[in-house]
Amino acid sequence: MIVIFISGTTNEYGLTMHFRLPGALTALLAIVLPAAAHAQPNVVATVGMIGDIAETVGGECVSVTTLMGPGTDPHLYQATARDVQTFGNADLILYSGLTLEGQLADILSRLGERKPALAVSEVAIPEEHLLATDDSYGVDPHVWMDTGLWAQTVSVIADALSESAPECAQAIADRAQSYEGQLIALDQWVAQTIASIPETQRVLVTAHDAFSYFGHAYGIEVAGIQGISTSAEASIADIRETAELLIERGIPAIFVESTINPRTIQAVIDAAGRQGHTVTIGGELFADAMGDPGTPEGTYIGMIVSNTLAIAQALGGDPAPFPAALSDWAARTGIDP
């Protein structure tokens, strides 16, 4: 059940949410009752990278809803009235944490006081493996860019799913073990593919700083025009400094991201061009969201494969032989790297 409170009232969760009603009225919406019983536990994941693990590991034992779809920037996401109802009907909520979900962070932490809600990255990733930032974030939340690190979230998610569906615990554990093995094989493939890029060309320039874990894990220098968050526009100084980097290092390509307006990238290309250095767009990378459902890029493995191929090919590298552990995934998706 959902109750609407007007004039700033809060509910027993201590939560208030702003959303626009028809007629431009503003109200505050609160979650008040736990979900009713379901044949399958309802699992809500904030982002696709988490939702894909839950679906893969949970199988038919759980029903998974992903809140933020393709092209959605989690840093800027604002909950809607429908999202509140989705949270209210959830038996388990899986979110990244580490401030990735921005304005949802307080709501998610408070929900954890009333129903199972797991901050996957915060629980699964050891603190010593987290990368610090120079801004208000403190810690870079984009841990899924290091596939070896992200593999550590599989068992954590599997344990949470098993608690929600105890009759499926063994099946969930078996799928988790298989999927974790696939991610370890993927991690090795990414490392080999990025290593094929000539060392002088091994610089990844993107719209915002979402690839630090990727660079740290796979030995490629990373430069983002914007910082960790996308809440502020890139400045003229940011654009000029990035253009100068491209010119000085002779970098041939720069990459757009699926969740960010490409106009900043175009501004850098234009700035470099005015100084006689031609830069091409190396392709679209998936940073904060996966691709469309039903496409290879709509899976976490496909997202990483697509990114790695785009980066390697644009910067002069070649894909390594695809690992046998991922042959079933490649056959299902029609991908032949």
Instruction: Quickly count: other Cβ atoms within 10 Å of residue 70's Cβ.
Output: 17
Residue 23 pLDDT:
34
- Tell me, yes or no, whether 169 and 21 share the same domain: yes
Domain extent for 156: 2-186
Q: Are residues 33 and 176 in the same domain?
A: yes
**Domain end position, chosen among 153, 168, 186:** 186
- Kindly report the CATH number assigned to the domain that includes residue 90: 3.40.50.1980
Q: What's the structural domain count of the chain? A: 2
**Do 308 and 245 touch, CB atoms closer than 8 A?**
no
Kindly give the parts of the chain with pLDDT less than 70: 1-38, 135-137, 208, 226-234, 258-261
Looking at the fold, whether 300 and 253 belong to one and the same domain comes out as yes
**pLDDT score recorded for residue 54:** 98
Same domain, 59 and 203: no
Q: For residue 140, give both structure tokens.
A: 């870079």
> DSSP string covering 183-220, please?
HHHHHHHHHHHHHTS-GGG-EEEEEES--HHHHHHHT-
On whether both 176 and 251 belong to a single domain, the answer is no
d(CA 276, CA 273): 5
158 and 120 in a common domain: yes
Alpha carbon distance 71, 273 (integer Å) = 29
Tokens representing residue 322 in the block: 């695809």
Q: Please count the other Cβ atoms lying within 10 Å of the Cβ belonging to residue 274.
A: 9
Is 138 found in the same domain as 32? yes
Are 107 and 249 part of one and the same domain? Answer: no
Same domain for 172 and 221? no
pTM higher than 0.85 for the full model? no
My answer on whether 291 and 324 are in the same domain is: yes
| 15 and 102 assigned to the same domain | yes
Domain-terminating residue out of 165, 186, 207: 186
Q: Looking at residue 138, what is its pLDDT?
A: 83
Q: What is the pLDDT of residue 116?
A: 92
In this structure, the answer to whether residues 114 and 131 fall within a common structural domain is yes
Give the per-residue pLDDT at 19. 38
Domain finish residue from 130, 159, 186: 186
DSSP letter for 54, please: H
Helix count (H) and strand count (E) of the chain? 12, 11
Residue 199: CB atoms within 10 A of its CB come to 10
**pLDDT computed for residue 315 by the predictor:** 92
